[in-house]
Amino acid sequence: MPGKWWEQAVIYQVYPRSWADANADGVGDLPGITSRLDHLEWLGVDALWLSPTFPSPNADWGYDVADYDGVHPDLGTPADLERLLVEARRRHIRVLLDLVPNHTSDAHAWFHDDGKRDWYVWRDGKPDGSPPNNWLAAFGGRCWTFVEERGQWYLHNFLPQQPDLDWWNEDVRREFDEILRYWLDRGVAGFRIDVAHALVKDEQLRDNPPARPTESPTWARVGQWPKHNFGLPEAVDIHRRWRHVTDGYASDPLLLGETYVMELDALMQYVVPDGLHLSMNFPFLHTPFVAEELAATVAETERLYPDGATPVWHASSHDDVRFATRWCAGDEPLTKCALVGLLSLRGAAILYQGDEIGMEAVEVPVERRKDLAGRDPCRTPMVWRDEPGAGFTAPGVEPWLPIGKTDRNVAAQREDPDSILTLTRDLIQLRRHRGLLAGAYTALDAPAGAWAFTREGGALVALNLGDEPARLDGVEGAIVLCTDRSRDGEVVAGALELGPRQAVVASAA
């Protein structure tokens, strides 16, 4: 049976405000995205995930949705989105929307509708006037805000402007079934599901324990283990419900979950055959860029994944420091090695806009900062060309976030056979021809500083992340692609020599 389209898809995440600004107001928009779809077609990606496109007061830059059926006026009109869907389809690129079901904006009509009071989590405080429990919010402060007129507190896992929906409420569940159908009927190919792991909270609202040593950076900062308001297994019931909805469509819509847990064991509770199709692997993203550690995370993921389940790998996002900075400190050869690893593993891969040119985190001066949680450095505009406005916006227009260095840009790298961009494209082409990079992942013994594995289809992938040469014995075959492109096509007879910070995909006999 042929596999599903997403099983080895490359999904490209666009942060719409920062990709391409068609109307020269300094903010990226949907017509801008449509005008640059050629880049994605050329790159060869299978799908496009748009960070939220819905109307929003932008307390959390679109992740506070005020209307799940609309389009944010900053980004364009419903007709612009329709055109984007049509143009993407013409290029065989599927479009995923970013569904934000954990919470709405406090500007959403539901939040002000007395008839929908029980769609949210309103509770009395304790007799001493303190909030219902000790939960702390992901961006700091308490999870509870008191509303004088109502004499009660409401729950918010994130900002006070993002009241959490009560997912124990059947009406909420039914409403979201309809939202999914609304968009699937309009031709979207599925959804990235925001905070898919935290939809359901402890029904008794029990107090949380203190942070553990393994907490994610967010929770380490907050100082609490969000045991009772993030990562509960009951979220899977909701995923199953949505899977039932998507199963009703012949187009094979995808549910890609933001399952932001730090342990693979915890991730596995979402990896079920009738829930999310893909569950994002944050333990991988947070693995230090050390060959042995990457190999260990991948081996453990492979060990835990049941037959038939597809892993998905990503290294950057609009929330996390870009990998070219976090993993590679801007080093070009290491950035290329990271892309070889990311795009050669079994399963789907997600590239965040700019990963393909090695875009780095950009320092944003205090007076230009927009995000309360400090994530602006990974949200700055895409760099298309080395010119004022960077091809993102018209020269002379002040972009909503500053543009970083423009030396790494799409135009120059497209012309350069040795660039990060050309390598990324060649890797994607290699994946598309299912052969070599198909099938099971098998780890190989590798010298210190190196990580090596084979794919059932015949590829041998080896990454030397160290500063010394490394040698893999017993390899017969040919280098298909090397981060040092002058080695492409080289015959390997007996031993594969890897230069420092060098990676190869070889065909092994």
Question: Catalytic residue positions?
Answer: 194, 258
The separation between CA 62 and the C-alpha centre of its own chain, rounded to angstroms, equals 15
By C-beta, is 59 or 443 nearer to ligand GLC? 59
Min. distance of Cβ 337 from ligand GLC in angstroms? 26
Please compute, for residue 458, the number of CA atoms within 13 A of its CA located in the half-sphere on the CB side: 13
Residue 92 phi/psi, 5-degree rounding, is 60, 35
Task: Count other Cβ atoms within 10 Å, centred on residue 248.
Answer: 11
Is 194 a binder of ligand GLC (CB under 6 A)? yes
Interface pattern 312-351 for ligand GLC (x via CB under 6 A): ------xx--------------------------------
By C-beta, is 379 or 455 nearer to ligand GLC? 379
The pair of structure tokens assigned to 237 is 């019931």
Is 14 a binder of ligand GLC (CB under 6 A)? no
Is 294 a binder of ligand GLC (CB under 6 A)? no
Is 376 a binder of ligand GLC (CB under 6 A)? no
Min. distance of Cβ 159 from ligand GLC in angstroms? 8
Output the DSSP codes for 471-498.
EEEEEEEEEEEESSGGGTT-EEEEEEEE
Task: Count other Cβ atoms within 10 Å, centred on residue 18.
Answer: 25
Residue whose Cβ sits closest to ligand GLC: 63
Q: Residues 36 to 65: which contact ligand GLC by CB under 6 A? A: 60, 63
- Of 49, 111, 153, 158, which one interacts with ligand GLC (CB under 6 A)? 158
* Total residues at interface with ligand GLC (CB under 6 A): 9
By C-beta, is 105 or 325 nearer to ligand GLC? 105
Min. distance of Cβ 99 from ligand GLC in angstroms? 11
Is 106 a binder of ligand GLC (CB under 6 A)? no
Question: Rounded to the nearest 5 degrees, what angle is found at the Cα of 498, between the Cα atoms of 420 and 288?
Answer: 65
Interface pattern 473-502 for ligand GLC (x via CB under 6 A): ------------------------------
Q: Residues 246 to 265: which contact ligand GLC by CB under 6 A? A: 258
Is 166 a binder of ligand GLC (CB under 6 A)? no
By C-beta, is 45 or 159 nearer to ligand GLC? 159
The pair of structure tokens assigned to 63 is 């992740």
Strands 10-14 and 348-352, sheet pairing = parallel
The C-alpha atoms of residue 215 and residue 198 are separated, in whole angstroms, by: 15
The pair of structure tokens assigned to 53 is 């496109």
By C-beta, is 101 or 253 nearer to ligand GLC? 101
By C-beta, is 7 or 98 nearer to ligand GLC? 98
**What residues have CB less than 8 Å from 86, skipping those under 6 apart?**
none
Min. distance of Cβ 52 from ligand GLC in angstroms? 9
**What residues have CB less than 8 Å from 133, skipping those under 6 apart?**
143, 144, 205, 206, 207, 208, 228
Q: Which stretches of 239-341 are assigned E, i.e. beta strand?
A: 254-257, 278-279, 312-314
Length of the chain: 509
Is 426 a binder of ligand GLC (CB under 6 A)? no
- The residues that touch ligand GLC, with contacts defined as CB under 6 A, are 60, 63, 100, 158, 194-195, 258, 318-319
